[in-house]
Structure 1
């Protein structure tokens, strides 16, 4: 089950389309969907988590806590809406495209993809692009 939670004034339009897409992303990686909670927040909220739990005194767009067991993906994914907005401007893409990239990124980490080395980051970016292309809104 994909859940969306809000700790800021942001609201995701068309939650069902995003939930369906994220479920399809999980299946496309041959994983099973457990309980995944997305928590949308602001920079201050995510910065506190970064300092308290990861001992990183930096801003970031996403922090994921992976509670997966075997092939069943479970976890909490915190997303700073402010960082996504800034990154969209920096990368010259729409807010929605950058949001999709970040949402997929969290799932891909749960699937075992890393992004610390240049090679791993390149693979991660390719996987993100592949998953973004899977997004469809039913008419």
Structure 2
């Protein structure tokens, strides 16, 4: 997976946490059988920045833990169709979107839930990653698919509670 990591935090994210995110997202990508050239990004932020993002895009004026922005949400863009042959289409990597993670919320929630910072960080990036890949939990039947998959990826990777 072509993964871009951006650190917009005040104090910086330690290299081992960036490596954890890269490794678990690559693991999750293989787990759900994404193409190797799939692209996405993760941006680490503090609570103040994610609150602004949440307010602007979701109309909710509070900090949250993770926000996912899927680029290709399945809508057919008929205003500007791109016409290409199958060979050309296969050469263009699929960009699935962007995830924003509040490292402040990672720390708060890890302490509240009494598990490691690494487990919470892994949970949030996998959760956001699954949203980018079309998984959701708004309906009970969707939750029954997404949550067990998320738990299985984390457990198999070794980030258990």
TM-score interval, normalised by the smaller of the two chains: 0.7 to 0.9
**Equivalent residue, structure 2, for 1:19:** 22
1:36 aligns with 2:28: no
Deviation beyond 4 Å, 4+ runs, structure 1: none
Using the TM superposition, give the Cα deviation of residue 63 of structure 1 relative to its aligned residue in structure 2, in angstroms.
0.6
Q: By percentage of residues, which structure has more strand? A: 1
CA RMSD, aligned part only?
2.3
- 2-side partners of 1:121 and 1:10: how far apart? 33
Write the mapping of 1:48-67 to structure 2, written as runs, cut at 5 A.
48-67=52-71
Moved more, 80-89 or 18-27: 18-27
In terms of mean alpha carbon deviation, does 91-100 or 1-10 score higher? 1-10
> Which residue number corresponds to residue 49 of structure 2?
45
Aligned residue for 1:133, secondary structure, equals: helix
- Of 72, 76, 89, which residue of structure 1 is paired with 2:111? 89
C-alpha contact 2:21 2:125 (8 A) present in aligned 1: no
The CA deviation at 1:118 is 4.3
Q: For structure 2, which runs of at least 5 residues remain unmatched after alignment?
A: 75-92
2:99 is matched with: 77
What TM-score does the superposition give when structure 1 sets the normalisation length? 0.83
| DSSP 3-state at the match of 2:157 | coil
Gaps of 5+ in 1: none
User: Counterpart of 2:153?
Assistant: 131
TM-score, normalised on structure 2? Answer: 0.73
* 1:104 aligned residue (126, 129, 150): 126
State the alpha-carbon separation in 2 of the partners of residues 131 and 76 from structure 1: 20
Partner SS for 2:15: coil
Deviation at 1:73, TM superposition (A): 4.7
Between the aligned partners of 2:121 and 2:72, the Cα distance in structure 1 is 23
State whether structure 2 residue 7 is matched by structure 1 residue 6.
Answer: yes
Larger Rg over CA atoms: 2
